[in-house]
A and B are shown apart, each in its own frame.
Chain A
Amino acid sequence: MGQEFVLLVSASIFCIGAAGFMIRKNPLIMFMSVELMLNSVNFLLIAYSSFLNSLDGQIFALFIMTVAAAEVVVGLAIILTIFRTRHDMDVDHIDVLKG
């Protein structure tokens, strides 16, 4: 399978993640969609590091994983803080900053 397959798969997963982020109301599922997007990019990087015979892609993917982990931790803590006292998991109800 050549590079086109990798590109298509990665693009598909990315778009699916983006769509998921926009159409779900539950903040946890939105977060999972963000993870999907990050994963797709990871895949792309690693596949290309294989094609181009350079380890830079893999190291970049490693860093992405690190940052994603940190981000998930902090993000979930925030979601916990916001939604613990409410009883509806609906991100549309958090619009205090509207103009």
Chain B
Amino acid sequence: MEIATVFNFTHDAVIFVVGMTAILASLGVILCSSPIYCALYLIGHMICLALLFLLYNAEFLAVVQIIVYAGAVMILFLFIIALLGGKKEVQENTFHRAMAFAFVFTLLGELYLSATVGTTQPIRGEIPPELFGTAKAIGLELFSKHVVAFELASGLLLVAAVGVICLAKFSFAPLRRRVR
């Protein structure tokens, strides 16, 4: 056996296993009764996805996924769960649930079908393969070709921050106290 085929085989096997784990973790997210467990499953799912990113030559994004998504966003989620609703919820089988499942399976089936439709027009880029996925390459692309979107995204984040402060402040601010 050659090293290349062994390497490829291992590569494919690892991708397969991690992909399946991601799917199973997402099933866990939606099927658990306790919100904390769902959050934990989601963290696991994000780690699997980060591994997948890594396997597809996107190191920078893998790390961003871990730091921002799994690290900040999910911790925020956990805080809110701790603050609000940690009760286990009972799943009853309503008509609505049945319809939801039916349509979602249909959607899945259609997506599988569309997988056989074929790819669209290929885009070919000019990145040397050893630089592919590194922070340097992403930085080069981001600040040259997509700088407008970058600026707009930063504006979006600012708006979000201000909005959250307003939302949070409204229910709390006891304005009358300052009069004294």
* Chain A interface residues (CB < 8 Å from chain B): 1, 3-5, 7-9, 11-20, 22-26, 28-29, 31-33, 35-36, 39, 42-43, 46-47, 49-50, 52-56, 58-59, 61-63, 65-74, 76-81, 83-84, 89
**Among the interface residues A39, A55, A74, which one has the most CB atoms of the partner chain B within 10 A?**
A55
Question: Which residues does chain A contribute within 8 Å of B72, judged by CB atoms?
Answer: 69
Question: Which residues does chain A contribute within 8 Å of B153, judged by CB atoms?
Answer: 63, 66-67
Question: Which residues does chain B contribute within 8 Å of A53, judged by CB atoms?
Answer: 124-125, 127, 129, 132
The interface residues of chain A, by DSSP majority, are classed as helix
Find out whether the CB atom of B123 lies under 8 angstroms from the CB atom of A54. Answer: yes
A80 to B165, CA, bound (A): 12
Number of A-B contacts (CB under 8 A): 216
Instruction: Beyond the given A17-B26, A61-B61, please list 13 additional residue pairs across the A-B interface where CB-CB is below 8 A.
Output: A9-B22, A16-B29, A20-B30, A22-B104, A28-B35, A28-B80, A55-B127, A56-B145, A58-B141, A69-B69, A76-B76, A77-B168, A79-B80
Find out whether the CB atom of B16 lies under 8 angstroms from the CB atom of A5. Answer: yes
With contacts A16-B23, A50-B58 taken as known, whether A42 is within 8 angstroms of B73 at the C-beta atoms is no
Find out whether the CB atom of A23 lies under 8 angstroms from the CB atom of B149. Answer: no
Query: Which residue of the partner chain, among B52, B56, B81, B138, contacts A62 with CB atoms under 8 Å?
Result: B138
With contacts A50-B57, A65-B64 taken as known, whether A42 is within 8 angstroms of B49 at the C-beta atoms is yes
With contacts A5-B15, A59-B146 taken as known, whether A14 is within 8 angstroms of B45 at the C-beta atoms is no
Find out whether the CB atom of B19 lies under 8 angstroms from the CB atom of A5. Answer: yes
With contacts A19-B100, A29-B30 taken as known, whether A80 is within 8 angstroms of B23 at the C-beta atoms is no
Question: Which residues does chain A contribute within 8 Å of B178, judged by CB atoms?
Answer: none
The closest CB in chain B to the CB of A56 belongs to B123
A50 to B133, CA, bound (A): 9
Q: List 20 A-B contacts (CB under 8 A).
A: A1-B15, A5-B19, A18-B107, A19-B101, A22-B100, A23-B96, A24-B89, A26-B85, A29-B29, A29-B30, A36-B45, A43-B49, A50-B57, A52-B123, A53-B132, A59-B142, A62-B61, A62-B138, A70-B156, A73-B161
Query: Which residue of the partner chain, among A15, A59, A72, A76, contacts B138 with CB atoms under 8 Å?
Result: A59
